[in-house]
Structure 1
Amino acid sequence: MTPTTLPYAENDPRAVRLAARDGTLVGPTAGLAKGYVQVNLVILPEAQANGFLRFCQANPRPCPLLAVTEPGERICGALGEDLDIARDVPAYGIYRDGRLAETVHDVAGIWRDDLVTFALGCSFTFEHALALDGLPVRHIDEGRNVPMYNTSVPLIPAGGFGGRLVVSMRPYRAADAIRAIQITSRYPQAHGAPVHFGDPALIGIPDIGTPDYGDAVTIGEDEIPVFWACGVTPQQVLVESAIEFAITHSPGHMLITDIPDSRLALL
């Protein structure tokens, strides 16, 4: 479906949220609401919330913390108006006993009064800046979800949480990769500069053509893969830490906020 035929205003963050809420939008959010911050979600019982907060503080590259709600709240004024955390994401993952048990489009029916939401910065935020500078974003151009990979890079254990880094990948020619590093370095709250580029085996990725999450994209012969820390990292951490219950966004399916990208950019 082309942007001109979408049944909602693709660059209006509230319209995109409402489309997710009523089931019109079920796919990835890359390329939508250009110019507005997208966030990853981790939703945990209050008993685990303080521990996860310490984990985010110890690992700010994959877990750049933008907002935390009070227990039970489904709204967050810091993120936007007319926003329902339990219904405004196109797809959610429900984790039980350290495994992904279910993917759903609405978690209002299982919402609990003790749930605390963590909103973490997302690399979809800086993609608009890349495109404005003439750097193509391959998964958007090909209509796919961004490719994401588990790595062998260890995280700093904290608060009862630990695991390995997950990365997202965008291919660029060498000169463009240097410019992409410069641009994304201005967005530390959206994962910032890449954590690696070049040989994926050096960070434990055996096959660049087979992502662990998302979709494979074309990599030209004159291009190198560039890897950024990814907000799917907490999902891998939930598995490795065997957390009893949690809710997250499904990889690539973000909550879109009313926050302009420019507020996250360093001058």
Structure 2
Amino acid sequence: MTLLRCIGCLLFVLLLAGCEGGGLLLSDEARADAAARLANPPLQRVRFATRSFDIAAYYRQGDPSDPRLGIFIEGDGEAYISRYQRSGDPTPGKPVALDLAARHPLPNLLYLARPCQFIGGDKARNCVSEYWTTHRFAPETVAALNEAIDQYVARFGARRLQLYGYSGGALMALLLAGSRNDIESIVTVSGLLDHQAWTSHFGDTPLFGSRNSPETAAAWTRLPQRHFVGSRDKQVPPELTFAALRRYGLQPEALVTRIDDADHDCCWAKLWPQLSRLSPVTPQR
């Protein structure tokens, strides 16, 4: 009996190692489930059926009387497996936004994966690789997340939505702000705020099938916001965030928090209990 118990403990440790280190012992979906269970209280898995896509999500409804809802939007995930070869499944091996949600203090939380993530990639309903490459911010992808939020709010109720967008999820948050009147604030982490400036910076093909932040600037530039950037981030360099905010007439020095030791995905989850205490700031023009 003791031997069996030790073997069981060893297997559990190995599974956790696969979860934390991106090993092969757990699938991406299983690692996401493990991350959700580590939240206190744990997050529960759910799937929203929208008109165009099925959206994978995790949630926690800890205090029905609290009108606030923190919504965490995942990044682009694995869009490409090489510079010129598209991935067949955009599910992120390291879902940073989910790790942030699991460490967030609000009692009511909703984590939204992007279309086609955690549901089978190009085998899922209406999922083709354009929706995680050139069309990752297409009107139908934005609408799908908006519908998922509507379904959640209709079931549980929430009047004050706080959006948290990681990487490409940041731009999704800005786009959602243009179609809702219940958004209280926006926080971005390693956030892409303008995909046209981003592709131009790297000399990449423009995301010609995607919406962009200028379309909703009248809405999101008025909202309290905070943008966390990593000084070592090579995927979304901090200067792009500063430049984007200046183009919209905002003062980035008041809105941006730079973390010297952080890059694009490290080590936001570890720092989040501390960073989440920093309140969004109302923009001054």
Query: Same fold by TM-score, threshold 0.5 exceeded?
Result: no
* TM-score of the aligned structures, taking structure 1 as reference length: 0.30
TM-score (norm 2): 0.29
Of structures 1 and 2, the larger Rg is shown by 2
**Bigger relative contact order, structure 1 or 2, given CA contacts below 8 A and separation 6+?**
1
Structure with more of its chain in helix, by fraction: 2
